[in-house]
Chain A
């Protein structure tokens, strides 16, 4: 089983809203990732959690706030987003940082 589950599948929010994206895996993976993908572009890394500790933050604006409550869950808290933040947000996990990453289906976010 190589399933990474992301909820919700679609999200529409206003610029003053607070929302959260969720990602879950039950493969025992210890590294989890958030990527942002704009239309017709490759995914761009946002955050890396390794053994539940934030190890990489690719200069992402503070309106995006990641959280890793435990080894199976990864959240991305959203606050005061801009319309240009509209994109597909992908979560991935890997057994450890040296192993291949497996991706969820993504959350398509629209900011109005």
Chain B
């Protein structure tokens, strides 16, 4: 079975500074990888996804993520954060061999992003 680790429970970043949120996965092959963002009391919004091909993927709101097979990582980055980026960020994995999302997604525990003015 697949698993996801987000090592940082909270991260505080100054507005305008760069951001990197870490995600490590455990899976026997190349999984499907996703980053979602959740504002308080809201559902989850898909930021970006990786299935195959180019290991650097671009998403919405200026986010990007890089798949590194050798490190089993899929870290999320943004060059300059805005106060509106404050939210909970979830990394998730789907297993292609079992039908991708057919088993639903396995989520990491989330990273709470705080933006300092």
Q: Are B102 and A55 in contact (CB under 8 A)?
A: yes
A105:B42 contact, CB within 8 angstroms:
yes
The one of B34, B90, B102 in contact with A97, judged by C-beta atoms closer than 8 angstroms, is B102
Given contacts A90-B44, A100-B34, A104-B43, contact A43 B107 (CB under 8 A): yes
Proximity bits, B95-107, A CB within 8 Å = 1, else 0: 0100111111101
- Could you say which interface size class chain A belongs to? 20 to 34
- Does chain A have a CB within 8 A of B63? no
Indicate if B17 sits at the interface (CB-CB under 8 A). no
Contact indicator A43/B44 (Cβ below 8 Å) = yes
Q: Could you say which residues of chain B place their CB within 8 Å of the CB of A55?
A: 102
Complex-state Cα separation, A39 to B15, whole angstroms: 26
In the complex, chain A residues whose CB is within 8 Å of the CB of B46: 2, 100-103
Do B104 and A108 have beta carbons less than 8 Å apart? Answer: no
Q: Of A45, A90, A98, which contacts B100 at CB under 8 A?
A: A98
Q: Give chain B interface residues in 74-117, CB to chain A under 8 Å.
A: 90, 96, 99-105, 107-110
Q: Is the interface of B mostly helix, strand, loop or mixed?
A: mixed
Tally B residues with Cβ within 8 Å of A.
Answer: 23
Are B107 and A42 within 8 A (Cβ)? Answer: yes
Q: Which residue of B lies closest to A97 (CB)?
A: B102
Q: How far is the CA of A6 from the CA of B46 in the complex (A)?
A: 17
Contacts of B103 in A (CB 8 A): 45, 48, 56
Q: Quick check: B43 and A105 within 8 Å, CB to CB?
A: yes
Question: What is A's interface to B at a CB cutoff of 8 Å?
Answer: 2, 4, 6, 31, 33, 35, 40-43, 45, 48, 50, 55-56, 58, 88, 90, 92, 94, 97-106, 108
- B residues sitting closer than 8 Å to A (CB atoms) are 32, 34, 36, 41-46, 49, 90, 96, 99-105, 107-110
- Show 10 A/B contacts (Cβ-Cβ < 8 Å), sorted by A: A2-B46, A42-B107, A43-B105, A43-B107, A45-B105, A56-B103, A97-B100, A101-B34, A104-B43, A108-B41
Of all A-B residue pairs in the complex, the 8 with the closest CB atoms, nearest first, are: A97-B102, A45-B104, A42-B107, A98-B100, A103-B43, A103-B44, A105-B43, A97-B101
